[in-house]
Amino acid sequence: MLKVSALSVDIVGSDGVAARIVDDVSFDLAQGETLGIVGESGAGKTMLALAIMRLLPAIARPSGEILLGGDNLLALSETDMCAVRGRRIGMIFQEPMTALNPAQRVGTQIAEGLILHRSLAQREARQQAIDLLERVRIADARRRVDCFPHELSGGQRQRVGIAIALALRPGLLIADEPTTALDVTVQKEILDILDELVSDLRMSLIFISHDIGVIGRIADSTLVMLGGRKMEQGPTARVLRAPTAAYTQSLLAAMPRRTRGSLARTQEPPR
Amino acid sequence: MTASTTIARAPERTAAKWLCDHAKLAGGATTTALFVTIALTSLVWTPENPTRVRILAKLQPPLTSGLLGTDHLGRDVLSMLMAGAFNSLSIAALSVAVGMTIGTALGVAAAARRGLFEAVVMRLCDAMFAFPPILSAIMAGALLGSGAATAIVAIGTFMVPVFARVTRGAALQIWAREYVLAARMAGRNNFAITFVHIIPNIASQIIIQVAIQLALAILTEAGLSFLGLGVPPPTPSWGRMLADSQTYLGLAPYLALAPGITIALAVLGLNLLGDGLRDYIDPRRRLGG
Amino acid sequence: MSGPALLEVRHLTRDYKLRSGDGLAARTLRAVDDVSFAVEQGSVLGIVGESGCGKSTLARIIMALDRPTVGEVVFEGESLFALSAGALRQRRRDFQMVFQDPYGSLDPRHAIGRIVAEPLHLGGALTRSERTMRVAEALEIVGLKATDAARYPHEFSGGQRQRIAIARALITRPKLVIADEAVSALDLSVQAQILHLLMELKERNRLTVLFISHNLGVIEEIADRVGVMYAGRLIEIGATRDVLHHPQHEYTQRLLDAEPTLDVIGRSGHRSAQASG
């Protein structure tokens, strides 16, 4: 459903110097598949996600092709792209507090897309917002829909973020480090919710993280990035248990033994 | 890992581009420098003696007698503007210096001590804010008579709470930083931390405020002189020139235009400098981090 | 615990008064609730817990940056809060802290040498050359160069800045270092290097470390013993192997279950694991 071919992003500085922060990345994403993109800071993962959404800053110039169900996203006008965002692609960000408008009730924020794109009436949109909150397992949704972001915990805010992204039932969801700022027990709940929703709604998910353990938990296939380039790609189990690229091997070697699991304990070099 | 392509640029184009990107800063700095030069030059040379009265040559339009003409007492307008520049700039500079020194000291002390001390200082500032400079000048004038000292006291009093507020806010942000915590662990007391860590990190914000407040000070001084509360005659002053020109507005409009435009330009220059500095400093700080 | 205790924390409690909006009713927030433990010299004690559990507050109290409401901190037999200000200042030579944020813990206006040398104020007066030598020594221990002393923080990466922070913590040759989420903000490969460095320092210099983290994998790598904190209380403490493999408390088990490991990979793997487990 998504085919990325030779995607590159160049940043042109004020002095005319161009730096390539995403370098010739290609991958395919099938309907209902979850792709995990893993890499360290500066690897270009977020820029890749922003390029797909066409939300790059003005100084970044993308090139290549991004085919979403036949449409080349890089060739669309801004107006057409606005119709794609939210409707066909939803995005979840890292910081739940800054991704939500602190001055608006969460119900309003969820309903915004519904009213804008589907021309729903206020009451109907509010009902759907409540349904969505229940879907992301927020207790007492009927009351919570009128809360402001600061009245909710970090985990709850991230669930609201997911609800907003799902509101228009996009076919593709892009999640950029959605659990990095959360506690590990909250992270588990969020991953469980995402897992369930993606299956129920048969959505495709691109999950970006620097945490290999999380990628291992949620991704069907994994793409490893370094310095803007694709280092390795394949089914998650294969990439994480029997990596072929040297970089992937060094990443796994750097992981704490516990996270690497029992496989690591058998493969451990003598200390 | 990333490929970079460098496009070589000729040196003149880079300098010109820098000036374009930082137009406000360049423009403001140039204008202010110009005024400072004029003010200092007036100490050693002016086209005519600005206080010399020549009734016979009174109300001469520009270019007939001197570059900008003469006023109702035959004094050369250009010379008066130059001498007035020194007057305005020096009073403004001294007022801001007073306000900055006392205000910054109060502000950083309040941020360091917190508690009752901070509350008292802030309420004191609120009280000082309640007295607009004009009012303070009238009161100071009643006590000290009119003159440069009165103007400095009046304007300076108003500057103190401005700097206290700004520095306290900026200092509080630095106090929350982890490197200050590290300094406390290194055994530094609040006094040392204020000088070693707080002040260097808020210095740029203080400088920006100085530029902005200088503009305000010049405007206020002109206002005080206009009302007769500034330096007394015969010392030339832009504000008084404006006041005197009122009677002759129909006859000799240039008498009002000259000081009016000069004041506007000086204030504009300083405002641009302040804005330009703020734009210049902020993005750089973000990079530095 | 066999050896002498370098640090002993006894019944620490820290309450905060919160004023409600109308300024009248005051609630008390108990950030640290009756926490007691001891740390043996030359060992690493890990403290694990999620946000809001009080671990950072605990760290600040142990560093004498904050006073407890109740309880005492005993360092080498001396109760820190009973000391005079001068004596406490002298004592600070023996314990230092490394913070989480490599970007906030170094003053951007100071050169590295000046940053690393700051704790030397606690020692006796040192000559300029002595100070330079100590700075060079500290930088080299953490794997940086003596010439880096002239450079500025923005010239260094996150991992390097954390090394600088460690150099600063080590320059007074302390006996105890508290690492408060010191590797949490770092990339995986850098994290491994910093952990390795800390382990080396522990072996070579008999450094005692109190390592605070939310990551159990990291704790298992580095800690001899681990304590679990929840809502201000120390709910479990023991040898790392015991706590992580045979947890006594339900919350510890929840933490262990929550952290993803590569034993089970992929969504389908997890669903079947959950169904069977």
CATH, residue A226:
3.40.50.300
B160 belongs to a structural domain: yes
Among residues C209, C162, C210, the alpha carbon closest in space to that of C187 is found at C162
Q: Please tell me the distance from the alpha carbon of residue A44 to that of residue A225, in angstroms, as a whole number.
A: 7
Domain count, chain B: 1
For residue range B44-87, list pLDDT tens digits in order. Answer: 888 888 888 888 888 888 888 778 888 888 888 898 999 999 99
Helix or strand (DSSP H, E) at C272: helix C267-276
A271 belongs to a structural domain: no
Contacts of B82 (CB under 8 A, 6+ apart): B38, B39, B41, B42, B46, B50
Q: Please tell me the distance from the alpha carbon of residue A11 to that of residue A18, in angstroms, as a whole number.
A: 5
Contact A210 C260 (CB under 8 A): no
From chain B, pick out residues whose CB is under 8 angstroms from the CB of C179: none
Choose from B174, B177, B178, B287 for mutation: most chain C CBs within 10 A: B178
Residue of higher predicted confidence among A27 and B10: A27
Among residues B18, B22, B24, the alpha carbon closest in space to that of B271 is found at B24
What pLDDT shows up at residue B7? 46
**CATH architecture of the domain with residue range C5-259:** 3-Layer(aba) Sandwich (3.40)
What pLDDT shows up at residue C235? 94
What pairs with residue C52 in β-bridges?
A: none
pTM: 0.81
* Residues C165 and C106 sit within 8 Å (Cβ to Cβ): yes
**Which residue type does C219 have?**
I
Output b/e per residue, A231-259; b: 16+ Cβ within 10 A: bbbbebbebbbebebebbeebbebbbebb
B3 belongs to a structural domain: no
Mean of per-residue pLDDT scores for chain B = 86
A14 belongs to a structural domain: yes
As a whole number, mean pLDDT of residues A107-136 equals 88
Contact B201 C121 (CB under 8 A): no
Rounded to whole angstroms, the maximal C-alpha distance in chain B is 81
Backbone phi and psi for residue A202, each to the nearest 5 degrees, phi listed first:
50, 50
Mean of per-residue pLDDT scores for chain C = 88
3-class secondary structure for A206-241? EEEECCHHHHHHHCCEEEEEECCEEEEEEEHHHHHH
What's the CATH code of the domain at B56? Answer: 1.10.3720.10
Bridge pairing between strands A229-235 and A221-226:
antiparallel
Q: Please tell me the distance from the alpha carbon of residue A32 to that of residue A177, in angstroms, as a whole number.
A: 20
Contacts of C214 (CB under 8 A, 6+ apart): A183, A184, C48, C49, C50, C51, C181, C184
Closest residue, chain C, to B199 (C-alpha): C109
For residue range A159-189, list pLDDT tens digits in order. Answer: 999 999 988 889 999 999 998 888 888 899 9
Percent of chain A with pLDDT over 90: 42
Chains B, C: CB contacts within 8 A come to 58
Whether the predicted pLDDT of B264 surpasses 90: yes
Choose from A207, A255, A266 for mutation: most chain C CBs within 10 A: A255
Q: Please tell me the distance from the alpha carbon of residue A260 to that of residue B5, in angstroms, as a whole number.
A: 40
Output b/e per residue, C18-54; b: 16+ Cβ within 10 A: eeeeeeeeeeeeebbbebebbbbebbbbbbbbbeebb
Name the strands in the sheet holding A60-68, side by side, starting at the edge strand that comes first in the sequence.
A71-72, A60-68, A2-12, A18-29, B4-5
What pLDDT shows up at residue C260? 84
Closest residue, chain C, to A242 (C-alpha): C262
> Residues in chain C with pLDDT < 50?
1, 276-277
Whether the predicted pLDDT of A205 surpasses 70: yes
Tell me the nearest-neighbour CA distance from B21 into chain A, angstroms: 10
DSSP state of A1: -
Q: Please tell me the distance from the alpha carbon of residue C145 to that of residue A227, in angstroms, as a whole number.
A: 26
Q: Which domain holds residue B259?
A: 22-288
| B287 close to C (CB below 8 A) | yes
Q: Please tell me the distance from the alpha carbon of residue C125 to that of residue C136, in angstroms, as a whole number.
A: 18
Contact C101 B183 (CB under 8 A): no
Contact A19 B4 (CB under 8 A): yes
3-state class (DSSP) for residue C126: coil
Closest residue, chain B, to C107 (C-alpha): B179
Percent of chain B with pLDDT over 70: 93
pLDDT confidence band for B271 (50 / 70 / 90)? very high
Among residues A207, A141, A153, the alpha carbon closest in space to that of A179 is found at A207
Contact C119 B185 (CB under 8 A): yes
**Which residue type does C1 have?**
M
What pLDDT shows up at residue B207? 92
3-state class (DSSP) for residue B156: helix
Contact C99 B185 (CB under 8 A): no
Tell me the nearest-neighbour CA distance from C100 into chain B, angstroms: 9
Q: Please tell me the distance from the alpha carbon of residue B126 to that of residue B128, in angstroms, as a whole number.
A: 5
Residue B75 tokens read as 């004094």
Q: Which domain holds residue A227?
A: 2-266
Tell me the nearest-neighbour CA distance from C66 into chain B, angstroms: 11
Neighbours of B216 (CB within 10 A): 20
For residue range B153-196, list pLDDT tens digits in order. Answer: 888 888 999 999 999 999 999 999 989 988 988 888 899 999 99
Identify the residue whose tokens are 């930082």. Answer: B22
Among residues A209, A185, B175, the alpha carbon closest in space to that of C52 is found at A185
Contact B179 C115 (CB under 8 A): yes
What pLDDT shows up at residue B52? 83
* Residues C162 and C98 sit within 8 Å (Cβ to Cβ): yes
ipTM of the complex: 0.83
Domain range summary for chain C, segments of one domain joined by +: 5-259
Among residues B158, B172, B27, B186, the alpha carbon closest in space to that of B102 is found at B158
Choose from B175, B179, B188, B195 for mutation: most chain C CBs within 10 A: B179
3-class secondary structure for A38-79? ECCCCCCHHHHHHHHHCCCCCCEEEEEEEEECCEEHHHCCHH
For residue range A259-270, list pLDDT tens digits in order. Answer: 777 655 544 444
| A261 close to C (CB below 8 A) | yes
Tell me the nearest-neighbour CA distance from C117 into chain A, angstroms: 30
As a whole number, mean pLDDT of residues A91-120 equals 85
Tell me the nearest-neighbour CA distance from C255 into chain A, angstroms: 6
Q: Please tell me the distance from the alpha carbon of residue B109 to that of residue B125, in angstroms, as a whole number.
A: 13
Bridge pairing between strands C78-79 and C70-75:
antiparallel
Q: Please tell me the distance from the alpha carbon of residue C93 to that of residue A14, in angstroms, as a whole number.
A: 47
Q: Please tell me the distance from the alpha carbon of residue B249 to that of residue B42, in angstroms, as a whole number.
A: 27
* B195 CA to centre of own chain: 25
Domain count, chain A: 1
A98 belongs to a structural domain: yes
What pLDDT shows up at residue B1? 39
| B20 close to A (CB below 8 A) | no
Q: Please tell me the distance from the alpha carbon of residue B207 to that of residue B203, in angstroms, as a whole number.
A: 6
Tell me the nearest-neighbour CA distance from A61 into chain B, angstroms: 14
Q: Please tell me the distance from the alpha carbon of residue C275 to that of residue C267, in angstroms, as a whole number.
A: 12
Choose from A183, A222, A225 for mutation: most chain C CBs within 10 A: A183
From chain C, pick out residues whose CB is under 8 angstroms from the CB of A210: 187-188
Bridge pairing between strands C225-230 and C44-48:
parallel
B13 belongs to a structural domain: no
CA distances from A25 to A3, A17, A22, B69, C54 (A): 11, 21, 7, 73, 44
